[in-house]
Structure 1
């Protein structure tokens, strides 16, 4: 995400267009290029923000800031819709208005990945050591 021209959302579209796979972003970047500062965890709905002075050695996990909340909620809704398709009970509960908890959502993402129903998409910067810790 720290490279010039980095565009997470374009990469997600390219996964779909070039490979025919169904991308399932489980993270959303906060910033890009030199402004890349962290990620939004769409499973736990928390922000991970790295300290820029120590090359990713320290970070804080906090609530999602207001200007990212709507986009994060939209992306999480798409992730949940893809994930609940993996399990009839989860789908039924979702259709009745019950959102899956974090553990259930992780289980469903794992099922979808193993079934090759979708491809989880994460973001980060190996050079600046940001985004790799949640893995």
Structure 2
């Protein structure tokens, strides 16, 4: 690899891979210790709850991965669950995130989302929308 290519790769903080004379830059790994590598649902606890008729809405939280998700139970097929995420205590938020429609049975849940530095809430819909409090 030419000295120019080495300097470009080093200056970007990337790893350069040379194949047939073509330089491909692979991004350097992030060293952000507060960001979880991936959301996990292990060590889950329920942080907030709400009811929408007979439907039970929960904001679930993993103490090991700092991720949260919504879950509905005692629910009917066609009902929906999602989460909202806010960086300012709930004044404004991003959502609905991970909206999931119950396909069968009586419960379902959203994917888990990173909530480090955020507050989150779970919302459920069965003709009317009801949300948990923020956590």
Would you tell me which structure has more helix in proportion to its own residues? 1
Structure with higher RCO (Cα < 8 A, 6+ apart): 1
TM-score greater than 0.5 by the shorter chain: no
> Quick check: which one's strand share is greater?
2
Instruction: Report the TM-score, using the length of structure 2 for normalisation.
Output: 0.26
Larger radius of gyration: 2
Structure-1-length-normalised TM-score: 0.26
